[in-house]
Amino acid sequence: MHRVSRMKLSKEKIASLIKESVGHTCDPIECCVRLVAVADLPSQFGQFQICGFVSPCDDKEHTALVRGDVVDKEGVVVRLHSECLTGDVMGSKRCDCRDQLLESLRYIQKTGEGVLIYLRQEGRNIGLTEKIKAYALQDEGFDTFDANVILGHQPDERDYGVAAHMLKSLRVKSIRLLTNNPEKIAQLKAHGVKILERIPLITKQTRYNEFYIRTKERRAGHLFGENSRVTSIKEIERISGETKE
C-alpha cells in the first residue's frame, strides 16, 4: 500500500540540511554538490519543494523536486531525470523523455512522497548543440549511440554520482528507483546508495520514438520487452551481466 504524506521539509530541517551540505567535505573521487536553497513549488502534480544544488565538479546547477518529508526515510520513491530541452519543454516526439518525466511526477503524486532529481546532463551529457548535431546524424540513419560516437563522444557520458550525492545531502536512507536503465542502478550502488527495488517506467511507444527505445534496449540493456516488469535489483544485475557478455 502506498504511503500518503501531507508533510514537507520544515524550515528547521531545511536550515540543517543546508548547513550540513555547506560544511561537509567529500572524498576526492566524489562530486561534492552543495544544497543552497529550498522553496515551495505548487504544481499540476501537487505540492512539491524545489531544492537547488550547485556542483563545482561540473560547474552545473541541478535540482530536486521533493514531495513530503524524505529526510532519514527508507524506501523513498526516486526518479533520476536527465535534462532534455527538446523533449521536456518543446514536446519532441523523437524520444520518451517528456513522457517519462510526467509519468514520474504522477507516480510521486499518487504515492504521496518522493524525489525527482533533475540533472543538467543534456543529450546524455554532451550538451544541447552537440545533441542537435547528433539528431542530424540520426536523420541520416545512424542510431542515437553511434551518432554520439561519430561526434567524438562516448555513447553515454552521464555521471549519476552527482545524483547519489544529492540524495545523501537530503539524508535519504534508501530508495525505490523509477527507471528502465540498469546503468543508473549500477552507478548509484557504486556510490553507496541503497536501492530496495526498481519501479518500471514504461510509456507508450510511437512511430517516432520506437527505433530510439529499441536502440536503448538493444545497445544499453534498458529494461523493455520481456524484462520490462523485473523489479528485483539482483535479477537486473544478472540480466545486465548477461547483456554485457
Instruction: Specify whether 158 is catalytic.
Output: yes
Mean pLDDT, residues 38-66: 94
Say how far apart CA 42 and CA 88 lie, in whole Å: 18
pLDDT tens for 107-154 read 999 999 999 999 999 999 999 999 999 999 999 999 999 999 999 999
Say how far apart CA 108 and CA 77 lie, in whole Å: 7
Say how far apart CA 49 and CA 41 lie, in whole Å: 5
DSSP state of 215: H
pLDDT interval class at 62 (50, 70, 90)? very high
Mean pLDDT, residues 184-209: 95
pLDDT tens for 166-177 read 999 999 999 999
Say how far apart CA 131 and CA 138 lie, in whole Å: 10
pLDDT value of position 152 = 97
Say how far apart CA 103 and CA 235 lie, in whole Å: 24
pLDDT interval class at 242 (50, 70, 90)? low
Q: Which is the catalytic residue, given 67, 79, 124, 158?
A: 158
Confirm if 180 and 201 have CB atoms less than 8 A apart: yes
Say how far apart CA 30 and CA 20 lie, in whole Å: 16
pLDDT value of position 27 = 66
Type of residue at 5: S
Element (H, E) at 65: strand 60-67
Say how far apart CA 56 and CA 53 lie, in whole Å: 10
Mean pLDDT, residues 35-51: 96
Confirm if 40 and 22 have CB atoms less than 8 A apart: no
Residue 180 has pLDDT above 80, yes or no: yes
Q: Which is the catalytic residue, given 67, 79, 156, 198?
A: 156
pLDDT value of position 2 = 47
Kindly state the percentage of the chain with pLDDT values over 70.
93
Give all domains of the chain, ordered by start, each with its CATH number.
24-121+158-244 (3.40.50.10990)
Mean pLDDT, residues 153-158: 95
DSSP state of 226: G
pLDDT value of position 69 = 97
Q: Whole-prediction pTM value?
A: 0.92
Residue 4 has pLDDT above 60, yes or no: no
